[in-house]
Amino acid sequence: MPSLGADMDAGTLVEWLVHEGDTVRRGDPMAVIDTDKSAIEVESFDEGVVESFLVEPGTRVAVGTPLARLTPLGAAAEEAPALSAPPAPGPAAAAASREAARIPAPRRPAGARIGTPPLRHHAAELGVDLTKVVGTGAHGTITRADIDRAAAEAASSGATSATPSAAAPPAPAAPGAPRVSPYARRLAREMGVDLTKVEGSGREGAVRADDVRAAAAGPGPTAEQAPVAEPGAEPRPVAASGSRATIAALMSRAKREIPHYYVAQTVDLTPLVEWLRRTNKERPVSERIVAAAAILKAAALAAREHPELNGFWLDDGFVPGDDVHLGIAVHVRDGALVAPAIHHTADLTLPEVMAALRDLVKRARAGRLRRAEMADPTLTVSDLGDQGVEEVIGVIYAPQVALLGVGRVVERPWAVDQMIGVRPTVRLTLSGDHRATDGAAGARFLNTVDRLLQHPEEL
Amino acid sequence: MSITPEEARAMVARAVRKIVPDAGVESVPPDADLRRAFELDSLDFLSFVELLVADSGVRIDEDDYPELTTTAGCSDLLVRRSA
């Protein structure tokens, strides 16, 4: 079970997207995971043949629990864990993929000193769980010798570092497992409905909210179907419903650990609004660009100019993001809040940013985000202008170090050259982590966004 | 081909339901603020306009958006443009 964000400590396997015996490549979608915030497609971190599933759909397991076994291509005898990432070094450790380098951070539990990518690779090869290794290096960092020692100890004690949940017999693949909409799934959980016993009325037998309600009304199973106790499985708290509890934990952590500062600026959007009105006339409706997309692009370019605001605060130090991956706070209709990333935002053209934004919001609401999108953002933008508010003074998503709040486009009296006119304006507020930067850095960032928005044709 | 007021209202309701499947379109007064009533953000609204254009075949520019504030305004525009 990979960690799909700093705040995630467990997840529910919703469905397998592959079958036992399938050959998967790195990056192929393998499973859908419900993180309490939304359902996310998780891709394979390795290449190989799916040997067996270790976790049954519907089961909630802790981060780090092996989900499946992969047999590497061409090495049938050797077994390599595929989705069996240890919690700390992150799923990408074994694969030493690009993501691992990009985001050492969100997957690292607070306080743990986890080694460099080569060390993590070494640990993965020896099957050593880095969270259980005592570091003897400077500041308690883990050295190669520590890993070798841990591996030797594990071998001598006869302990296998393999699958804690392997004791449970691998579940049948359930190839015909029905699709369930995220809303229906949440409803089922709240109403205590066993989804495996619900007949779906949607396309291809997909279970919809109405089916769950119908099943709950009928003489069905009671709420008494607690998940079978299983090592690694965590009981779900009864009171706090998923996404609310997740947001509560994440935001409490942010307010506890991050000394926020806030700087704000009102930006004249006349050039942008006029430019959009002119250019959108020539675009088909499906390609029209909204002001929010242009503000995103300007924020991405500004983040590239001010890299000190684009990254993570980890282990008492700032780690810059490898590129600008803007996180977009999206309200999902049933009340959840997610902030997935648009990758390499600064490199996209404005129409591409617009298309990516629409795609991301659509998939977030359909509960079909991808793993990398959840783990990746380097700086988040929260635009609540559509909710009518003029100003958003946001809370930073740890371990990121800044968040840009965007208000509504408002017509305000505006003084230019000793004259007062009425101009469309927007209030931009940067929340910064005072450990990483000072207010001056936030001010420079906002000035850059302002400057960029005055020349929308160059965005 | 001209669109009747009833057809226009049905098109508006269909477009809203595509975006907010459980929307009670009938229970919202025709002069209520559409975006507020159905909690449409600017992306939803763009999709809404897209659906209206696809369904009705009339051209809708951004300059028309002020008229699309209410369901009544939307159907009026469709009827007028298709006439």
Amino acid at A314: L
pLDDT interval class at A415 (50, 70, 90): very high
User: A358, B46: Cβ pair inside 8 Å?
Assistant: yes
Which chain B residue lies closest to A278 (C-alpha atoms)?
B62
pLDDT interval class at A115 (50, 70, 90): low
The pLDDT, as a whole number, for residue A3 is: 78
Q: Can you spell out the DSSP letters for A193-237?
A: --GGGPPP-SGGG-B-HHHHHHHHHSS---S--PPPP-TTB-PPP
User: A277, B60: Cβ pair inside 8 Å?
Assistant: no
The pLDDT, as a whole number, for residue A179 is: 67
Q: Is the ipTM of this complex over 0.90?
A: no
User: B53, A357: Cβ pair inside 8 Å?
Assistant: no
Residue A424 φ/ψ, nearest 5 degrees: -70, 130
Residue A348 CB contacts under 8 Å (≥ 6 apart), including other chains: A297, A300, A342, A356
- Chain B residues whose beta carbon lies within 8 Å of the beta carbon of residue A281: 61-62
pLDDT at A387 over 60: yes
- Chain B residues whose beta carbon lies within 8 Å of the beta carbon of residue A367: none
For A70-79, what is the mean pLDDT? 63
Residue A292 is nearest to which of B42, B60, B61, comparing CB atoms? B42
- Please state whether the peptide bond connecting residue A237 to the residue before it is cis, i.e. omega within 30 degrees of 0: no
Would you state the torsion angle of the CA atoms of residues A90, A3, A399, A343, taken in this order, to the nearest 10 degrees? 90
- Tokens, residue A447: 């000035």
Distance separating alpha carbons of residues B75 and A104, to the nearest angstrom: 53
pLDDT at A7 over 70: no
pLDDT of A249-271, one tens digit each?
Answer: 889 999 999 999 999 999 999 99
User: B43, A358: Cβ pair inside 8 Å?
Assistant: yes
pLDDT interval class at A229 (50, 70, 90): very low
pLDDT of B22-77, one tens digit each?
Answer: 778 888 888 889 888 888 888 899 999 999 999 999 999 888 999 999 999 999 99
User: A285, B41: Cβ pair inside 8 Å?
Assistant: no
pLDDT at A411 over 80: yes
Distance separating alpha carbons of residues A141 and A171, to the nearest angstrom: 38
Q: Count CA atoms closer than 13 A to A419's CA, side-chain side.
A: 4
pLDDT of A17-60, one tens digit each?
Answer: 888 888 888 878 888 888 776 778 888 878 888 888 888 888 88
Residue A370 CB contacts under 8 Å (≥ 6 apart), including other chains: A29, A40, A41, A43
CA distance B68 to chain A (A): 15
The pLDDT, as a whole number, for residue A37 is: 65
pLDDT of A184-217, one tens digit each?
Answer: 676 676 666 777 767 776 666 677 666 766 676 6
The pLDDT, as a whole number, for residue A61 is: 87
User: A281, B62: Cβ pair inside 8 Å?
Assistant: yes
Percent residues over pLDDT 90 in chain A: 37
The pLDDT, as a whole number, for residue A202 is: 66
Which chain A residue lies closest to B21 (C-alpha atoms)?
A333
Provide the mean pLDDT of chain A. Answer: 77
pLDDT of A286-301, one tens digit each?
Answer: 899 999 999 999 999 9
pLDDT interval class at A119 (50, 70, 90): low
